[in-house]
């Protein structure tokens, strides 16, 4: 379809659409969602390239949110994020325990409850950010471990990603990635040691 200003040509040619300036003010701008990128590795702690790229993007002026689900932060959490390069917001769980030692977690009910509550709090924060359109890039580091530990529901993540409003990319990292999420991805990167 060709858009043309008013002329006698558009009156006689039905393949050309004439749009007057009064019509233009009713048009709405739609923002396209960015890609879903998945970085998969057989071991934890292999996503330094993702973090490096998030720092570079922030230094270039993009608003970046980096959320590490299974790394505890000393007095961190959503109320006390780390700000870097003026544009990177780095958030970890408010619980200071490295949340990958499943045997230690399962044997201590108080620890388990604290980890689950702080991780779920992060997830609720991320859902709001994914739907807000405020960030240019969002990294959900080790979110698949939170799914594996049954803290975050896989279907909730899928629904949130389908309804997200972000012009940039959403990056998901982890080891065991559910097939449903692999099928949603625009790009999958397998990291090797």
Give the pLDDT score at 6. Answer: 42
User: CATH 3.40.50.300 residue ranges in the chain?
Assistant: 31-191
pTM attached to this predicted model: 0.77
Give the pLDDT score at 185. Answer: 92
164: nearest Cα among 71, 36, 58, 61: 36
Give the pLDDT score at 191. Answer: 78
The residues that bridge with 66 in the sheet, in sequence order, are 90, 139
Q: What is the mean pLDDT, run by run of 10 residues, along the chain of 193 residues?
A: 42 49 48 81 73 90 92 78 90 73 75 86 94 92 89 94 87 89 90 72
Give the pLDDT score at 50. Answer: 85
Assign a CATH topology to domain 31-191: Rossmann fold (3.40.50)
- CA 180 – CA 101 distance, rounded (Å): 26
């Amino acid at each position: 379809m060709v858009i043309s200003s008013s002329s006698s040509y558009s009156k006689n040619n039905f393949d050309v659409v004439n749009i007057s300036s009064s019509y233009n003010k009713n048009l709405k701008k739609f923002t396209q969602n960015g890609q879903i990128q998945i970085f998969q590795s057989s071991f934890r702690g292999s996503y330094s390239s993702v973090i490096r790229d998030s720092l570079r993007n922030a230094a270039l002026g993009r608003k970046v949110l980096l959320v590490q689900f299974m790394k505890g932060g000393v007095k961190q959490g959503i109320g006390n994020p780390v700000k870097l390069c003026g544009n990177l917001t780095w958030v970890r769980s408010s619980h200071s325990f490295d949340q990958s030692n499943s045997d230690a977690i399962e044997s201590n009910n108080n620890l388990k409850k604290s980890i689950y509550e702080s991780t779920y709090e992060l997830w609720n924060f991320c859902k709001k950010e994914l739907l807000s359109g405020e960030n240019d890039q969002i990294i959900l580091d080790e979110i698949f471990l939170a799914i594996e530990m049954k803290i975050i529901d896989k279907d909730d993540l899928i629904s949130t990603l389908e309804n997200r409003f972000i012009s940039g990319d959403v990056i998901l990292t982890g080891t065991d990635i559910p097939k449903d999420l692999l099928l949603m991805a625009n790009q999958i990167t397998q990291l090797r040691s």
